[in-house]
C-alpha cells in the first residue's frame, strides 16, 4: 500500500500553494470589501503566506526558519478589528481561488 501523502503533497506542493496565494492576493487587492485592509501589502506577502500554509500542511519549515513561525503570523494579525463581512469575504475569495488554481477538492483532501 502506498504511503498517505501529506496535505502539502496532496495540494501540489509549493508550486500549487504559490499559485493559490498569488491568485488570492491579486483578487484581494481589487476587492471592494478587502482592498483597503491590504493596501500596504508588500509584493512578497503571497510567498510568505504560501510558506506558512506549506508548513501547516506538512511541508518544509521555511516559514518558521525565515519568519519566526506561528507566533510571528499571529502577531501580524492582532488588533486588525476585522468585521464579519471582511472575514466572510476573505474565506469566499480563498475558496474561489483554490478552485481557480486547481487545488484538490476531493473529500479526502
Name the nearest CA neighbour of 38 among 90, 79, 83. Answer: 90
| pLDDT for position 109 | 66
Contact between 101 and 20 (Cβ < 8 Å): yes
Provide the pLDDT for residue 52: 96
- pLDDT at position 1 is 79
| Range 11-99 has CATH code 1.10.490.10 | yes
C-alpha closest to that of 87 among 34, 29, 21 = 34
Structural domain boundaries in the chain: 11-99
**pLDDT under 70 in the chain at which residues?**
109
pLDDT at 4: 85
The C-alpha cell at 47 is: 510567498
Amino acid at each position: 500500500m502506498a504511503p498517505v501523502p501529506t496535505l502539502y503533497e496532496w495540494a501540489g506542493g509549493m508550486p500549487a500553494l504559490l499559485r493559490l496565494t498569488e491568485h488570492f492576493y491579486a483578487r484581494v487587492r481589487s476587492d471592494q470589501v478587502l482592498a483597503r485592509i491590504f493596501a500596504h501589502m508588500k509584493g512578497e506577502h503571497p510567498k510568505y503566506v504560501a510558506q506558512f500554509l506549506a508548513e501547516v500542511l506538512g511541508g518544509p519549515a521555511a516559514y518558521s526558519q525565515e519568519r519566526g513561525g506561528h507566533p510571528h503570523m499571529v502577531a501580524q494579525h492582532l488588533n486588525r478589528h476585522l468585521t464579519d463581512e471582511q472575514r466572510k469575504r476573505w474565506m469566499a475569495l480563498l475558496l474561489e481561488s483554490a478552485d481557480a488554481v486547481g487545488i484538490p477538492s476531493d473529500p479526502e483532501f
